[in-house]
């Protein structure tokens, strides 16, 4: 399994790398989250919570395997 390290400030976050379908799903989720924040100023809507939960379930099946 491949992982990627990203940083939020000084905090390192280890993420599993996704295949193309997983990356596309993450991009759609990111766009939804940004649109929601721009429209409402929050990220606590049912729509965002449901989309995040659906993404987690979907992404679990789209993790790149190690070579």
Please state the domain extents for the chain. Answer: 18-67
Instruction: State the pLDDT confidence band at 61, using cuts at 50, 70 and 90.
Output: very high
Instruction: State the pLDDT confidence band at 1, using cuts at 50, 70 and 90.
Output: low
In this prediction, residue 65 carries a pLDDT of 79
* Residues 67 and 3 sit within 8 Å (Cβ to Cβ): no
What is the tens place of the pLDDT at every residue in 15-47? 889 999 999 999 999 999 999 999 999 999 999
pLDDT above 70: residue 58: yes
In this prediction, residue 14 carries a pLDDT of 87
In this prediction, residue 5 carries a pLDDT of 87
* Residues 29 and 43 sit within 8 Å (Cβ to Cβ): no
Q: Please tell me the distance from the alpha carbon of residue 1 to that of residue 32, in angstroms, as a whole number.
A: 28
């Amino acid at each position: 399994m491949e992982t990627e390290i990203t940083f939020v400030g000084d905090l390192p976050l280890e993420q599993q790398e996704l295949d193309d379908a997983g990356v596309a799903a993450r991009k759609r989720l990111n766009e939804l989250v940004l649109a929601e924040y721009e429209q409402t100023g929050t990220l606590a809507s049912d729509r965002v919570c449901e989309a995040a939960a659906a993404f987690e379930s979907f992404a679990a099946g789209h993790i790149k395997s190690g070579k």
